[in-house]
Structures are given as C-alpha cells and as structure tokens.
Amino acid sequence: MIITCKKGIPETEINKIIQTIEAKGLSVHPSKGEHLTIIGIIGDTTILDEKTLEANHYIDKITKLSAPYKQVSRDFHPEDTIVDVAGIKVGGKENIVIIGGPCSIEGIEQIDRIAGQVKEAGATMLRGGAYKPRTSPYAFQGMQLEGVLAIEAASQTHKLPSVSELMDVDKVEEFEKHIDLVQIGARNMQNFSLLKAAGTMTKPILLKRGLSNTIEEWLMAAEYIMASGNKNVILCERGIRTFETYTRNTLDLSVIPIVKKKTHLPIIIDPSHATGDWELVESMSLAAIAAGADGLMIEVHDTPECAWSDGAQSLKPDTFKVVIEKGKVIAKVIGRDI
C-alpha cells in the first residue's frame, strides 16, 4: 500500500502516520520528494482500512498494491481447484462441463423432457430455475419448492447433476438437500448475508458476477463464501452492464484468462443471459471455449415461444447439440475435452 501525502504535510504528521502503521506490525518506507511525499507499506495491508486513512486531511490518496483477497488468490493456492459436483469434476484440465436446461422449471413433465433432450445432445449437468429474480413483482416468480423437487427428480432420472438459484437464506436447507450446484445470482452477488449462508453449505456454489461488479468485487464475494468455510466455488460470467443496447449485456470474455491468472477457481460462461438473444449464443459459446472457459451454461427449451420466461434467449435442443459438437473440436486446440 502507498500513502501519497498532500503537499506541505508537516514532519510531525508524517511521523504520526508512520507510528500508527508500525504499531500494527507493518514495515513502513517513507520517501520524500520535491513535489510529493509517499509512504510505502509492506506486509499484510488487508488489516488497514484505506478509507479511514484517507480521512486524514494530510493524506491525498491511498493506493493498494496487493489484491484484497486471500483464499481466492492463486498466490496462496497455486494449483487449480477442481470442484466436484455430484461426481462431475469442474476446473483444471478436466473436461469442459456443459450445463443445459430451461430458464424456469415449468412442471415435472417439462423439466424431465428437456433433461432428456439436453442429455442426448451431450450436456453433463441440468439447469432450471425454481425461484426466479424478476424485475417486476407481477411477473412469474417460479414454481418454488415444487420446482426444486421437479428438477431433483429429473436430475436423478437422467443422471445429470442439478443447478438452481438460491435467493433466500431461509432456503439454504432446502437447497442443501435437493440441489447439487447452488447458484448465487448476479443481483445477489453482494447480498453478503446470502454469501455467508452459502459459505456454511456442503454443496458447491456457482457464483455469478454482478451486472456491474468489477472482477475484484466478484473475487471478494467468492472470498466471503470461502471465509465462511465453503471452498468449492465456481465463478460464472454472464455479461456486464454497459451503454450498448443491441445486446442485453456485454459478455466480458477477457475475465477467463484474468480469473485463471489471479485465482485457482474454475470459471464458466453463461452466453444466454449475457446476450439475451439465442442468435448470438452459438458464436459466444465457441468463443468462450476458445478462450479457456471450464464450462458453459446455456438455456435450452424445446418450445421457446411458449417458455414462461426468457424464451428469446433459449436454444432449441438440436442447435444446442451443434454447439457442443463444434465446441469439442475447439476444445482440443487448447488441450481440453468436452
């Protein structure tokens, strides 16, 4: 951490700052220049609160040099974490996972039928929403417990681990019991109570990036889960909010090499929510594989025009199969399999 002092800071004030920091066991290196006095701090600076330091009127700004995350960081855990989702391994050099399924679970029959279709196309996990975060209170809010039980049944019938979104702390037990990979949605990425609760679960967590969260905030959200005891976190990019209006969000594929460099956690891509348009899903899926993603999560529906939510972004099963077939060849180029 670097403290940049304001021009004209008195010597006594510099000494006070230095003493405060040294008292915390950190090593302090001041440098005085003609225009600028800076104070370098070496050690575990995560124990300092930079906003409180900035409140000192002699301090101009605080610059962090090391990342604020620890358990998430590759520095402290150099090998790739491989997350086991009911027998399916995610991360490292394991096979790229393909998660397919409808946006919303609409009934036992529907999720079972689509589970069969995505399995046949080559998917290795089954997604489906039982609790739906909807912008409007008047929109369909999901089948709830009935939906959770429906996807559990389909998951067992077709031997596809299930993925579904947890929205409430008081549903933790329900998801612990019935769901294999517990998703924290983009809108809840900084719902810290939910993150802490997820940290107490034994099931792995799929943590989506918030619509306007930086990579650093996203990794800090993962740190919350890990700090609460759950080490099995998979990151999921689903597009960020920008000024562009031709797509619902802007898919940020550069996070793939960045996440792999900074952390040891697996990362998967959700091209369906990112683009909001099924016509863009194939090319973004292949791009994600080429960029090194550990998996894809794609919305699939056999009759998108009748889906209860997000039909516009769903692939039909046959198109989904084409994506997987092409993806297999691309995966080989970068030393992976699907």
Smallest gap from Cβ 175 to its own copies, in A, equals 14
Distances (CA, A) of 42 to 2, 25, 47, 66, 162: 9, 10, 12, 10, 45
Q: Would you call 33 helix, strand, or coil by DSSP?
A: coil
- The smaller minimum CB distance to its own copies, of residues 143 and 240, is found at 240
- The smaller minimum CB distance to its own copies, of residues 156 and 193, is found at 193
Distances (CA, A) of 269 to 58, 235, 285: 45, 9, 8
* 64 and 45 Cβ atoms separated by less than 8 Å: yes
Q: Would you call 315 helix, strand, or coil by DSSP?
A: strand
Which of 10, 22, 24, 42 is in the footprint of its own copies by CB under 8 A?
42
Interacting positions 134-193 with its own copies (CB under 8 A):
134-140, 167-170, 187-188, 190-193
- The smaller minimum CB distance to its own copies, of residues 168 and 174, is found at 168
Q: Which residues contact 138 (CB under 8 A, 6 or more apart)?
A: none
Interacting positions 240-269 with its own copies (CB under 8 A):
240-247, 250-254, 256-258, 261
What's the token pair of residue 252? 């940020």
Burial group, residue 13, by CB count within 10 angstroms (0-12, 13-18, 19+): middle
x/- contact string, 101-120, with its own copies (CB under 8 A)? --------------------
Q: Would you call 242 helix, strand, or coil by DSSP?
A: coil
- The smaller minimum CB distance to its own copies, of residues 142 and 161, is found at 142
**Packing angle, helices 255-262 and 215-227, rounded to 10:** 40
Smallest gap from Cβ 94 to its own copies, in A, equals 18
x/- contact string, 281-320, with its own copies (CB under 8 A)? --xx-xxxxxxx-----------xxxxxxxxxxx------
Distances (CA, A) of 96 to 129, 213, 286, 291: 22, 25, 12, 12
Which of 19, 156, 200, 214 is in the footprint of its own copies by CB under 8 A?
214
Smallest gap from Cβ 308 to its own copies, in A, equals 7
Interacting positions 51-90 with its own copies (CB under 8 A):
51-52, 54-57, 61, 63, 65-66, 68, 75
**Total residues belonging to the chain:** 338
Smallest gap from Cβ 237 to its own copies, in A, equals 11
Taking residue 257's Cβ as centre, other Cβ atoms within 10 Å add up to: 12
- The smaller minimum CB distance to its own copies, of residues 156 and 214, is found at 214
10 touches its own copies by CB under 8 A: no
Of 229, 300, 226, 292, residue with least CA distance to 259: 292
Smallest gap from Cβ 5 to its own copies, in A, equals 10
Q: How many residues bind its own copies (CB under 8 A)?
A: 110
Q: What is the C-alpha end-to-end distance of the chain, expressed in Å? A: 43
Interacting positions 191-210 with its own copies (CB under 8 A):
191-194, 196
Interacting positions 225-244 with its own copies (CB under 8 A):
227-228, 240-244
d(CA 54, CA 69): 21
Smallest gap from Cβ 96 to its own copies, in A, equals 13
